[in-house]
Structure 1
Amino acid sequence: MTDNLLRRAEVEAITGLSRSGIYALMSANDFPRPIRVGKRAVAWKSSDITDWINSRAAA
C-alpha cells in the first residue's frame, strides 16, 4: 500500500484546522509531525492524518 504525502493546504482542508492550529497541536504533541520532502518543504503521510482523525472521533 502506498502512503500519499499531503502538503499543508491539503491537511488544512481535510482536518478543518488552520495553519496556526496545526502547529499549535504539534507543539502540544497532539498532531502528527510532518516529514521533510525538500529543503523548505514538508508533508504529512496520509495514514498519519487518517489515524489522527480516527483517534479524535473515538475520543
Structure 2
Amino acid sequence: MLSVAAKTPPNAVPPMPLNFPRDRFMRLPEVIHTTGLSRSTIYELISRRQFPAQLSLGGKNVAWMASEIEEWMNERIADRYQGAQS
C-alpha cells in the first residue's frame, strides 16, 4: 500500500482556526420564556427588524442564537438606563 503525505511549503503560514464563541440554539418556547414575549409579538418584531431573526435548522425546524437573544435583552436594559439619564 502506498501512502502519500501532504507536504507543507517551509514558509507557509498554517491556517488559523476559526474561533467562534460557544453558542447554542434556542427553540421558540425557550425564547418566549426567556424574553417574556408572546409568539405573535416575537414574529411581529422580527418582521419590523426589531428582534433577532430565527435560523433554519432544516425542514420546518427553526431556532434562535442564544447570544443574539441575550444581546437584544441587554440592549433593552441599556435603553431603559439611557432614558433615565435624559
Misfit runs of 4+, over 2 Å = none
- Structure number with larger C-alpha Rg: 2
Aligned residue number for residue 18 of structure 1: 38
5+ long unaligned stretches in structure 2: 1-20, 80-86
- Which runs of 5 or more residues in structure 1 are unaligned? none
Alpha carbon RMSD of aligned pairs, Å? 0.6
What letter is aligned with 2:40? S
* TM-score, normalization by structure 2: 0.67
Q: Which has the higher contact order (CA 8 A, sep 6+)?
A: 1
Identity %: 44
How many residues of Structure 1 are paired with residues of Structure 2 in the alignment?
59
